[in-house]
């Protein structure tokens, strides 16, 4: 942290990784009612690093999906540090398609350093699972809102954030890979992660300025109520759109990013 107590980009990376940040279950318990968790991808097994289920928001049925890291070493290991395997992304897609069938909006909470890169995950089709989740989100005919609450790492995060609206908490980060990974490639030295963070444009404020996200939510006492107000507002706007217009608008949103045609 600099002398003016302003967080540097790498300070925000470290803040986003802190274990005392609210986790997916905290957001679910505070913001939503009557949550019922669903398990399994109907092919192989259940991925505990990814929570998915149905709940109510202002008495309206919704589907909620998010990463779970854990609060201590035991939980970190149980939840694989929030890194989903193919089973997790397939479970997410299963719940998304169910949400579309029953016309439920989809809300995702993203907090992951990235998809799990292990041999078993790769053998089970990790890249296809990530691509399948992104493709499924882009085609959904129901409103989709994503909130990046901590780390938003690489395709593992994008697989849950191809949404109509993408918001970030003020100390969250969102990037193509970790600063350590970036520094290892560019500088051949992972210890230069802080230097890499300065040029990666991974903070919420930088991404908002580039037009890559739709809003930044302040952290602190009002964070949960601010998220609830945002969801109420955005669901009202998106809910008035025709399904085909939702799909077209979401597609254009990400095509414009791909083309570099953002503000």
> Could you tell me the CATH number of the domain that includes residue 119?
3.90.226.10
- Domain assignment present for 150: yes
- Domain assignment present for 213: yes
Q: What digits encode the pLDDT tens for the residues 112-130?
A: 998 988 888 888 889 999 9
Q: What digits encode the pLDDT tens for the residues 8-44?
A: 999 999 999 998 999 999 999 999 999 999 998 888 8
- Domain assignment present for 19: yes
Contacts of 53 (CB under 8 A, 6+ apart): 35, 36, 37, 38, 63, 64, 95
- Domain assignment present for 2: no
Per-residue pLDDT for 1 more than 80?
Answer: no
Domain count, the chain: 1
pLDDT in the model for residue 164: 96
Closest to 81 measured CA to CA, from 95, 65, 91, 68: 68
Structure tokens at 138: 């882009």
257 or 38, which is more confident: 38
Domain housing 243:
9-259
Report residue 2's pLDDT band, with 50, 70 and 90 as the boundaries: low
- Domain assignment present for 4: no
- Domain assignment present for 168: yes
Per-residue pLDDT for 260 more than 70?
Answer: no
8 A C-beta contact, residue 106 and residue 98:
no
8 A C-beta contact, residue 190 and residue 184:
yes
Closest to 134 measured CA to CA, from 154, 109, 112, 160: 160
Global pTM? 0.91
Helix axes 223-239, 24-31, angle to 10 degrees: 70
Structure tokens at 127: 């890249």
Per-residue pLDDT for 70 more than 80?
Answer: yes
Q: Which residues pair with 166 in a beta bridge?
A: 146
Contacts of 59 (CB under 8 A, 6+ apart): 33
pLDDT in the model for residue 6: 81
pLDDT in the model for residue 54: 97
Containing H/E element for 169? strand 165-169
Mind giving me the DSSP string for 138-165? HH-SS-EEEEEEEEEEHHHHHTTT-SSE
Q: Which residues pair with 55 in a beta bridge?
A: 62
- Domain assignment present for 171: yes
pLDDT in the model for residue 3: 46
Count of residues in the chain? 263
- Domain assignment present for 33: yes
Containing H/E element for 214? none
Structure tokens at 53: 């289920």
Averaged pLDDT for residues 43-68: 94
């Amino acid at each position: 942290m600099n002398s003016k107590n302003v967080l540097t980009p790498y300070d925000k990376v470290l803040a986003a990784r802190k274990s005392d940040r609210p986790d997916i279950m905290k957001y679910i318990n505070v913001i939503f009612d009557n949550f019922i968790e669903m398990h399994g991808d109907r092919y192989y097994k259940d991925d505990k690093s990814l929570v998915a289920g149905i709940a109510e928001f202002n008495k309206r049925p919704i589907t909620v999906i998010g990463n779970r890291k854990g609060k201590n070493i035991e939980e970190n290991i149980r939840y694989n540090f929030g890194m989903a395997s193919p089973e997790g992304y397939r479970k997410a897609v299963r719940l998304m398609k169910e949400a579309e069938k029953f016309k439920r909006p989809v809300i995702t909470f993203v907090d992951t350093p990235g998809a799990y890169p292990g041999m078993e995950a790769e053998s089970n089709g990790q890249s296809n699972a990530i691509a399948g989740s992104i493709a499924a989100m882009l085609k959904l005919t129901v409103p989709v809102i994503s909130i990046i609450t901590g780390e938003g790492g690489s395709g593992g995060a994008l697989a849950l954030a191809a949404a109509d609206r993408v918001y970030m908490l003020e100390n969250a980060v969102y990037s193509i890979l970790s600063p350590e990974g970036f520094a290892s490639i560019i500088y051949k030295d992972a210890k230069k992660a802080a230097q890499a963070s300065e040029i990666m444009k991974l903070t919420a404020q930088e991404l908002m300025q580039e037009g890559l996200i739709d809003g930044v939510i302040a952290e602190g006492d009002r964070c949960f109520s601010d998220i609830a107000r945002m969801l109420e507002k955005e669901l009202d706007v998106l809910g008035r759109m025709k399904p085909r217009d939702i799909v077209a608008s979401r597609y254009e949103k990400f095509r414009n990013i791909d083309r570099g045609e953002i503000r």
